[in-house]
Amino acid sequence: MSEKIVLFENDLSDEGQKRQAIKNIIVFKLNDEWYGVDVLYVKEVVPTHPISVLPNVPSYILGIMNVRGNILSVMNLKAIFGLTSLKDDESQRIVIVEDKGMSVGLLVDGSEKTMEVPENLIEPALSLLEDEKRDLLEGQVKVDGKLVALVSAPKLLELTCLRNS
């Protein structure tokens, strides 16, 4: 069900081989694009639950849902990144991210694998993106010919707080 990919690049120095800093990410799809988030912020990945729509919230907030008695806001990353509307199928999942006691659910089209990525392979986010969108990304990494945009969980949670206050 869940596949794990490990990426390494030889890094030799005068003292011999050094251990590289590694970032573990969970990779998911939005339409045909690949995104990832640091597993340090991922509390869990759950199947979609019924989402209750709320009035007067930003377009990227789908609503709220109940996960084992906890009420959680659900974000539509497609609305944030300017992608086409949501598809509604059984492969969708909610990636629950948490930082500093705050949690939010991210609706994704499927989470498929975790990856160990050497931090030296992570590049800055595409400069073609608008500043507001680029600020929500930690960078990007190329894996098996696919570009994976790394979403910043703390910045998404911050965005939720700023817009709700």
**What does R_g of the chain's alpha carbons equal in angstroms?**
17
pLDDT at 140 over 80: yes
- Rounded to whole angstroms, the Cα distance separating 123 from 129 reads 14
- Rounded to whole angstroms, the Cα distance separating 141 from 137 reads 11
Position 127 scores a pLDDT of 63
Domain spans, the chain: 3-164
pLDDT at 8 over 90: no
Q: Which residue has the higher pLDDT, 82 or 98?
A: 98
- Rounded to whole angstroms, the Cα distance separating 6 from 115 reads 6
Instruction: Describe the strand order of the beta sheet including 111-118 as a list of residue ranges.
Output: 3-6, 111-118, 22-30, 33-38, 146-151, 137-143
**Residues 22-61: tens digit of each pLDDT:** 999 999 999 888 999 999 999 999 998 899 999 999 989 9
Average pLDDT score, the chain: 82
Q: To 5 degrees, how large is the angle CA 132–CA 140–CA 164?
A: 30
pTM for this predicted structure = 0.81
For the domain made up of 3-164, give the CATH fold.
Answer: OB fold (Dihydrolipoamide Acetyltransferase, E2P) (2.40.50)
Of the candidates 129, 119, 148, 151, the one whose C-alpha atom is nearest the C-alpha of residue 138 is: 151
